[in-house]
Amino acid sequence: MASSLSLSPANTCAKNVINVPRYFSEELCSLPAVKVIGGTRKHRRLVVSNVASQMPAAAAVASPLDRAAAEVEERKLAAWTSVRQERWEGELVVEGEIPKWLKGTYVRNGPGLWHIGDYNFRHLFDGYATLVRLYFNDGRLTMAHRQIESDAYKAAKKNKKLCYREFSEVPKPDNFLAYVGELANLFSGASLTDNANTGVVKLGDGRVVCLTETIKGSIVIDPDTLETIGKFEYDDSLGFLIHSAHPIVTDSEFLTLLPDLINPGYVVARMEPGSNERKFIGRVNCRGGPAPGWVHSFPVTEHYVIVPEMSLRYCAQNLLKAEPSPLYKFEWHPQSRAFMHVMCKSSGKIVASVEVPLYVTFHFINAYEERDEDGRVTAVIADCCEHNADTTILDNLRLHNLRSYNGQQDVLPDARVGRFTIPLDGSPYGKLEAALDPNEHGRGMDMCSFNPSFLGKKYRYAYACGAQRPCNFPNTLTKIDLVGKKAKNWYDEGSIPSEPFFVARPGATDEDDGVVISMISDKNGEGYTLVLDGSTFEEIARAKFPYGLPYGLHGCWVPKK
């Protein structure tokens, strides 16, 4: 069974050990003091290292939006409440020891503002984007957060109302003519949001871009200041209004999928470092259904792009509705079946197109080529966080569901590490199986990262959010061993961790030699950064935030120059 690391807050206060600057209130200095050894809890005296002799002045800018809705319940888990202010920056007190080699910036993106005035958004994915920056240098840690200045966010601030179509929210027209105009803007893409609240990537030329599924929602930011620089404009004629929120980005290329809603299919495109021009690689036509399946992410191998065709398909009828359906902009078409397509990166040729069991996934983890003893590629293996073909996960992410959980019901839908086997011998069918026993990670699995040196290659370890049940949302950090078929879990009762992000130690030869960074929203409405050893998966450092932050989605690492 999985080795469970359970962390619980101790009553030791940091002010009893060191002089905490007055910037922190007594409530904020109540740092946990727990060391975990062999799955047991041992309280210890709090040891704080690498603290600046004087904490720099914190920069705080209050949001112009009315924050009344965010303050309804002071003790509510901060993960599901709007960020308290628009900006903050300051150095954090570090408990434990951050490795000296960890030098750079972790930038996390995610929806962090879920209200306009007294109007509350309804879905996790609707919130306006909030960036969080963790700057690691010489064992010290500086944190900052700031809103992305998208057109959607600026219009909401100015007009005190929703002005663009978000994931589940639609602007309310004042009259029939405004409604007709809004529909016209929908078809042109003008009314689609540019709220880049999903991912953030560092391009090969050093630019850092925040992304969502609308192409207009590609925004360049400064990772040092979190300032919004401007739109990332694609200089090509490929067109399309949407793309995968998770492109494949390396120092040498940028690969993306463009769903075609008119002539159902997918276009695969490449962009070179320093360029804004996407170049056509190839196209996959849908084999089933009235529209392409939702493509939030996709995997690649050394030589192939894997194009998933899920039975959860885009739905124009749902897109036109003023009120969201249970599946929002999608529709479940099990009769259309599900497929996995394999395209050669260099030629654009489709080398395999197989039917697979029905599946539902937001996030693919990694993929690699399986070879026989003569070195010939016989199959492609692709791993994902798979929800057992259960679409209810989408509606479970409504904010009402997340905020009303009382800790008793076990309502999180089951999930697993799903492993696709796609044969390259012309067979019409592929396989989908669990890569390890789902009970190892609590039958809850999402938000994966891995050592980026193993992108497209055979790998052993992944880091994800799993489940300690009962729960309504993934609530553990989990290290998955895909060879040993085991998982090791970190768990802090009542807390919600965000995506565990792996950073490899420079010069490392072992796949798991590095650290895992996550931001935690704890049960007291507060939060902290957590640093785990990538190999042992034990805590080595944490640093408390001045207040709890909203749940975030995905991040990227920008090494120190």
Binding-site residues for Fe cation sit at: 246, 296, 363, 554
**Do residues 487 and 462 make contact, with C-beta atoms less than 8 angstroms apart?**
no
Q: Left if phi > 0, otherwise alpha if psi is -120 to 50, otherwise beta: which for 181? A: alpha
Q: How far apart are CA 377 and CA 303, in angstroms?
A: 10
Amino acid at residue number 323: E
Residue numbers in the known binding site are 246, 296, 363, 554
Quick check: helix, strand or coil at residue 490? strand
List of residues 6+ apart from 375 with CB closer than 8 A: none
Q: List own/partner pairs for 429-433 with CB under 8 A and 24 or more apart.
A: 429/354, 429/355, 429/356, 430/340, 430/354, 430/355, 430/356, 431/356, 431/357, 432/356, 432/357, 432/359, 432/386
Write the DSSP assignment of 320-353 as a string of letters: H-SS--TTTTEEE-GGG-EEEEEEETTT--EEEE
Quick check: helix, strand or coil at residue 541? strand
What are the respective helix, strand and coil percentages of the chain, to the nearest 5?
10, 40, 50
Q: How far apart are CA 159 and CA 161, in angstroms?
A: 5
Quick check: helix, strand or coil at residue 35? strand
**Do residues 210 and 148 make contact, with C-beta atoms less than 8 angstroms apart?**
yes
Residue 335: Cβ-neighbour burial (10 angstroms; 0-12, 13-18, 19+): exposed
Q: How far apart are CA 442 and CA 436, in angstroms?
A: 11
Q: How far apart are CA 236 and CA 151, in angstroms?
A: 22
Residue with tokens 């309310």: 172
